Amino acid sequence: MDRIDYALLALLQEDSRRTADKLGEELGLSRSAVTRRIQSLTQDGIIAKEVAVLGDRVRAGRMAAIVNLQFDRHKPREADQFKRAIRALPEVQLFVLITGASDALLLVSVRDMEHFNSFADELASMPLVRRYETSFIKRTEKFTTAVPLE
């Protein structure tokens, strides 16, 4: 990857709906050169996918929570089953294994408290989960999916 690829990725992370013509203007490239670079970045797995990021109007009607999980034990087979189960839950937007007092962190989006309670019951019934602690998000001050490329 060269500096133009990094600049192209930065622009696409801001708004992937920009046309190849517009991107070309901003980068000093032809439309076909931009298209070739995007195709190459996609084939190489640098660009994984393009998605729509929903606005506040949609997200504001939902409850969001950060859930810290502590595992009961660390057996590979149980951990693999747990990971598959968590990945399959549509409420889970982010699932990361972490260090420290907790073993994993989830970002969860639910309709309402009843929906969260149902989700929490399912989570608590998983054999690997020793305990969980939930913090509900009051207000989002910054949200981005962009990765800094500097």
At 25-82, the pLDDT tens digits run 999 999 999 999 999 999 999 999 999 888 888 888 899 999 999 998 777 888 899 9
If 0-12 CB within 10 Å is exposed, 13-18 middle and 19+ buried, where does residue 43 land? exposed
pLDDT recorded at residue 105: 98
pLDDT recorded at residue 123: 96
pLDDT 10s digits, 78-115: 889 999 999 999 999 999 999 999 999 999 999 999 99
pLDDT 10s digits, 1-18: 999 999 999 999 999 999
pLDDT recorded at residue 102: 95
Burial string for 104-130 (b: 16+ CB within 10 Å, else e) reads bebebbbeeeeebeebbeebeebebbe
Run of H or E residues at 71 = strand 63-71
pLDDT recorded at residue 76: 80
pLDDT recorded at residue 23: 97
CA-closest candidate to residue 69, choices 92, 102, 117: 102
